[in-house]
Amino acid sequence: MCGADAGNDIQGLSVRCPSQVEEIVPTLDDDLLYGFALSRTAEECHPTVRDLRAGECVLGLSPDRVAYANLSQPSLSAENLKKAYELRERVSEKERLRISADYYALVTGELEKEAQTYQLWIQSYPHDPIPHGNLGVNFISLGQYDKSLAESEESQRLGPNNFISYLNLGLAYLALNRPDHAKATFEQALARKLDGGGLRLSLYYLGFLQGDSTQMEQQLAWGSGKPGVEDLLLSAQSDTEAYYGRLAKARGFSRRAVDSAVRTDSKETAALWQVNAAVREVEFGNVAAAKQGLASALALAPGRDVKVLAALAAARIGDTARAKTMVEQLEKSHPSNTVLKLYWLPTLKAAIELNVGNSSQALISLEAAAPYELGEQLGTLFPAYLRGQAYLLAHNGTAAAGEFQKLVNHRGIVLNFRSVHSPISASLAPTPWSATRTKQRRRIRIS
C-alpha cells in the first residue's frame, strides 16, 4: 500500500511508490536497494508506511534510486539506478522487472522499452497494480491520456487503497478536461485518509482552473514548512502570479521555492525552480534577469533537466552559440531518451532557428514533436507555442492562431504555465472552467 507521495517536475510530478513489500533481497547492499530515502515528516505519511524511528517516510522498501527521482534529483536517481541495473540478475523476477523499468524510465529515457517491461510485468503478475499505474504514466509522457486513464483505472481497481492510483487517475482526468471527475477522485483519496504533497499540488491546480483562490491558498498553507512539499507549491504560485502579470510577486515566490529546496539539500530541485523562473523571464522580455537565473541554476546543479530548460532559455534570449553547444551535449549524453529526441531536441532547435529569423526551418524541426506535444513534460505545449510564433514570423496569422488555440483547448494540461501569459497568446486565454461552464495535472509513477 502506498501512502504519501513525493516529487515533482516543473509542471508534473514523477512519483514512484511500491504497493507491495513482500520481497526482501538481502544479497544486495541495503544502502543501494533499500534506504530511508524520502525526506518527509512522519506526519505526512500514511500510517502504514511511517517509520517513526527515522522520522521519515519510507514507501515500503522504496529504493534510493526511485526516491531521488521523486525529489526531483534525477542525477542522483540515475547514479543509483545504474548500480542496481548492473546487479539486477541477483534479485527476484519481480524486482528485476522493477529495476529494468526504472532504468529505462529514469536513466536511458527509453519509454518504449519501459512500456514493454510493464507489459511483461502485467503478464507475469496480473493482479499487481504497480505496472498498470506506471504504464499510465508512460502514456501521459507521450500525451496519450485516454490510454493513461484506462491503465490508471485498472491500477486503482487492483489497489483500492493505493494513494498514487487515485492521484494518477485524477491527473488523467485533468488532462482530459474533466475537472469534476478529477475533483471527485481527489476527494475519494482524502476520504480514505490518503494524502500528500502531490494531491495538494493537484488540488491547487484544480483551484486555479476553476478560479477558486481560496482552495489555492488552502493548499499553500497546508504545504507551509513541509520539506519537499513547500517548494512545489511555492513554485506553482510563482507561475500563477506570472500568469496574471504580477512579475514581482512571481519572482518572490520563486526565490522562496529555491530557498525551501536548498534548505532540504535538494539542490537539483532548487535549480529547476531557478531555471523555471529564468525561462519565464525570457517570455516577459527580461533578458538580463533570464541570463542571471540561467547561470545561477547551472551553477547550483547542472543536471539533465536543468540543462534542457537552460538551453531553451539561452535560445530564447539569442545566445545561439551556447544553446547549440548545450543541445549537442544533450544529444551526445542521452542518445536514446525518447522525450528528449521526440519533444525537446526538436523544440530547442526550433527555438534557435526562430532567433535567427528562420521560420521555415523552425517549422521543419517541430514536425517531429507534433505527435507528442501534448505530453506533460517540463515545458507544457512548448512545441505548439513556438510553432505559433514561427507562423507569425512567416506572416501566417491563421495558422498561428490555430497553434495558440491549442493552449486554450488543453487547459488541463497547460494549467498556469508561463507561456500562456505571453503577449502573443494571452488574448486567447479563456476564463476558468467554473466561469465558462465549458465541457471541456503531473506525472506520477509507482514502483
Mean pLDDT by 10 residues, the chain (447 residues): 36 39 36 31 33 31 38 67 88 93 92 96 95 92 92 93 86 93 95 92 96 97 95 96 94 97 93 95 94 96 93 95 97 93 96 96 97 82 95 97 94 79 45 30 50
What distance in Å separates the CA atoms of residue 206 and residue 26, rounded to the nearest whole number? 43
How far is residue 38's CA from residue 6's CA, in Å, rounded to a whole number? 8
Mean pLDDT, the chain, as a whole number? 80
Determine contact, residues 201/230, Cβ cutoff 8 Å.
no
**Residue-level pLDDT at 271:** 96
Note the pLDDT of residue 376: 79
Give one DSSP letter per residue of 238-293, joined into a string.
HHHHHHTT-HHHHHHHHHHHHHHHHHTT-HHHHHHHHHHHHHHHHHTT-HHHHHHH
Instruction: Provide the pLDDT for residue 106.
Output: 87
Q: What is the pLDDT of residues 198-226, one digit of tens each?
A: 999 999 999 999 999 999 999 999 999 99
